Amino acid sequence: MQPQALNFRLCFYMSFLFLGLGVQLPFLPLWLADRGLSTPEIAAVLSGQILIRTFGAPLGTFLADRYGRPILLMRLGALLCAASYFVLSFMTGFSEIFLIAVLASVFLSPVGPIAENFAIVESAKAGLDYGRQRLWASVSFIIGTLISGFALEWLDTSKAVILIAVSYLALAAAGFVLPDKRREKATPDEAPAIVRPRDVLLLFRSLSFVIFLAAVSLAQSSHAMLYSFGSLHWEQLGHAKATIGILWGVGVVAEVVFFFFSGASFRPSRRSRSSSPAAWRASCAGA
């Protein structure tokens, strides 16, 4: 596939990647409150979704590597997530809401990591700027928050989960623009090494990996209060759902700007490229 065609397809898919998340993060807590769940129950549902991702994402990415069909898994995961949220719209009690919401998170959790890994690898091979593709995922989040915020001004809050389901269904459909290449059968010399659980555990012997893991964990945990109760707090202050959507969208604008300029920020200098062009090309291919 030509680099320009690949770039267009990746950008198109990315423009749906966080659409559902843009609806889910601001308005799922409002839907849970509308169902009559208490504050501790809302916290349990949202934390359960996050906790299960620590198991769902590694399992999904393992299956993608094991069978060499990452695109198929991305499509299937988004479709099953959409179906789960559609079922969730009929649930009323805490127990069934908790189970279906966690199940939806299991299906969704590997989609983002697989999609971003696919985009990074294919962009490096084709010499494309991954940041210019990834920014569309952030734009899709903004679109999701704005559209759902204004839609819920005239739709009942109980329809929020339907909007989430439709958004993930759109992501599943967008997955069909990506090339679902079957991995060619490798020769014995080319066959990839089988990764065992103990090999993964060896990562924790690397100090740099442990520091990185601690840093991203702290960054994610700092978001927890906003993700769980930011929308509820703003609604209690009297802000309209459209305003809540705008507030969520504004926070992502900086992310879009970062990705737009990220390629230039990390591009090697002209001097370093001229001094060792082969090494520079090799580093790009292995990024």
pLDDT above 50 (res 276) = no
Question: Could you tell me the CA-to-CA distances from 146 to 15, 99, 269 in Å, in that order?
Answer: 14, 28, 39
Give the pLDDT confidence score for residue 58 in this predicted structure. Answer: 86
Angle value at C-alpha 68, between 63 and 283, nearest 5 degrees: 105
pLDDT above 80 (res 246) = yes
Among the ranges 145-149, 172-176, 233-237, 268-272, which has the highest mean pLDDT value?
A: 172-176
Give the pLDDT confidence score for residue 184 in this predicted structure. Answer: 55
Residue 20 belongs to some domain of the structure: yes
Residue 188 belongs to some domain of the structure: no
Give the pLDDT confidence score for residue 271 in this predicted structure. Answer: 46
Q: Domain of 19: which CATH number? A: 1.20.1250.20
- Residue 217 per-residue DSSP state: H
Residue 190 belongs to some domain of the structure: no
Contacts of 20 (CB under 8 A, 6+ apart): 81, 82, 108, 144, 164, 167, 168, 170, 171
User: Which has the minimum average pLDDT: 126-140, 151-165, 182-196, 213-227?
Assistant: 182-196
Look up the domain containing 97 and give its range: 3-180+196-282
Average pLDDT, the chain: 84
Give the pLDDT confidence score for residue 16 in this predicted structure. Answer: 96
Residue 169 belongs to some domain of the structure: yes
What pTM value is reported for the model?
0.79
Residue 39 belongs to some domain of the structure: yes
> How does residue 273 score in pLDDT terms, banded at 50, 70 and 90?
very low
Q: How many helices (H) and strands (E) does the chain have?
A: 14, 0
Give the pLDDT confidence score for residue 54 in this predicted structure. Answer: 85
Within 10 angstroms of residue 55's Cβ, the number of other Cβ atoms is 11
Contacts of 235 (CB under 8 A, 6+ apart): 30, 241, 244
Residue 186 belongs to some domain of the structure: no
Within 10 angstroms of residue 154's Cβ, the number of other Cβ atoms is 9
Residue 278 belongs to some domain of the structure: yes
Mean pLDDT of the region 22-44: 93
**Phi and psi based region of residue 194 (left: phi greater than 0; alpha: psi -120 to 50; beta: remaining):** beta
The domain total for the chain is 1
